[in-house]
A = this chain, B = another copy of it.
């Protein structure tokens, strides 16, 4: 599964005797085929029937800002001359290039769709600089785009913004074995970077489902969180340096490879998570840890969210430095994976909650001893009702698919309203309960096709207090959406949570920043946007 987590590739897997606690082996199941698994995250989004996707401008009732110029044949000639190569310009302005253009105009979830007629694929930072400088002077709006795997429409144009895609900036610039620092172009695919590091005994400190398609420049621009944040920390800590281009063409060369550098303001931080609204990230320098030699994964069934919380605290306490993931999946989310894939459940009974725990360490024997002690404790105390422990690589991958396959399974079943939120741990799952009650009481939820909502499911990164609330619908439905929003944002605001933990704001949450940031913060952001992008050409119509 190209888009999946293959952390243990090239690793020596722990092949240890079964633990003493009663844990059953993973049941055999038919693995997802490569083609199926790739579908959602193909680097070329499906071209068929993109016309069915509603235009973002209509769905969100957005008007084109007349201050932006329209792309002319002269502009296209300039870009063709600048970028040289035929493949660097997808020209829908002077030619009919609808089929070639459409993949850049829409997202893989089929939720957002723009009207761009020009895609540029520069190959160097200097080319990006010249492109942006030209656009800025001509007041041509621009959308930076990496792998286009985002979930909030941040990398898709709304009107005729020029897409500047980083796919041709895909070179690894350097790697230092002693320090573990990788320097790479923005357009390097995350999985490519990780495979390169695997061969050198290191690990990219970020992992997420879209790794087979997403670009590391996009990861940094959206401050992607993912599966390894619990262990390796956020990109604000691991990104050591960054190269970016401001709208006026200024190249911000802050591509330090030093772990410590206290010489003035840490300006690179502003580009991490700002979703291409103040500049375009062209290269990244990032600190990569040694690749763990032993990786284990266990999958549990639990009777209540209170049990999940207890299990988390025990894992944090007992597994401590080797805990690399603590993922939560509710019963409904696992039911959807079951329905979608036809795979047998890993456990015999069904439970309202499931957890996936991963350990990564340097000594297989020590890790297994810690894991065994932990398992004995949580099963002995009745915190965990049942569990399995992967015994080999196949089982390891199979268990992870029950977590990583949720997004994809949902996409097979229809539309999904996705909410990616941070909430203090104690109330993390209450949001799912409350949302489900609300939609059920309003008559939206049911098993047969007359109900718009198939299920309200919750899963996410428990260790980061990060919940994914997903409302699976048979088709996108304004009534359902109105029942959820802004109710869900108000719910989160009351708990001082975040309405976007890791996905960003993009188009989807463009109007909701006020639920997680106060007026002063929003004004300070607007002030910075005005400073760096006075013409407002960078990723317009989004959250700022």
Contacts and interface: CB of A to CB of B under 8 A. Distances in A.
Interface of A: 176, 178-179, 201, 222-223, 225, 229, 233-234, 236-238, 250-254, 256-267, 269-270, 272-274, 278, 290, 292, 309, 312-313, 316-322, 360-363, 366, 369-370, 422, 424-426, 461, 464-466, 496-505, 509, 513, 516-518, 520-522, 524-525, 527-528, 531, 543-544
B544 A264 contact: yes
Nearest to A319: B362
Contacts of A264: 273-274, 505, 513, 517, 521-522, 525, 543-544
A502 B262 contact: yes
Given A266-B269, A270-B266, A498-B260, A362 B313 contact: no
A424 B179 contact: yes
Contact of A238 (B237, B272, B309, B517): B237
A522 B321 CA distance: 39
12 contacts: A179-B465, A229-B260, A251-B520, A259-B465, A260-B502, A262-B504, A263-B505, A264-B543, A317-B362, A321-B361, A366-B366, A366-B369
Contacts of A361: 320-321
A450 B517 CA distance: 63
A28 to B, nearest CB: 33
B260 A464 contact: yes
The residue in A234, A278, A499, A502 that gathers the most chain B C-beta atoms within 10 A of its C-beta is A234
Contacts of A250: 520
B229 A263 contact: no
A39 to B, nearest CB: 26
B513 A263 contact: yes
A49 B496 CA distance: 51
Nearest to A316: B290
Contacts of A322: 321
Given A259-B464, A265-B528, 9 more contacts: A179-B424, A222-B262, A260-B422, A261-B498, A264-B543, A264-B544, A266-B270, A266-B272, A321-B361
A501 B258 contact: yes
The residue in A250, A278, A292, A465 that gathers the most chain B C-beta atoms within 10 A of its C-beta is A465
Contacts of A257: 424, 496
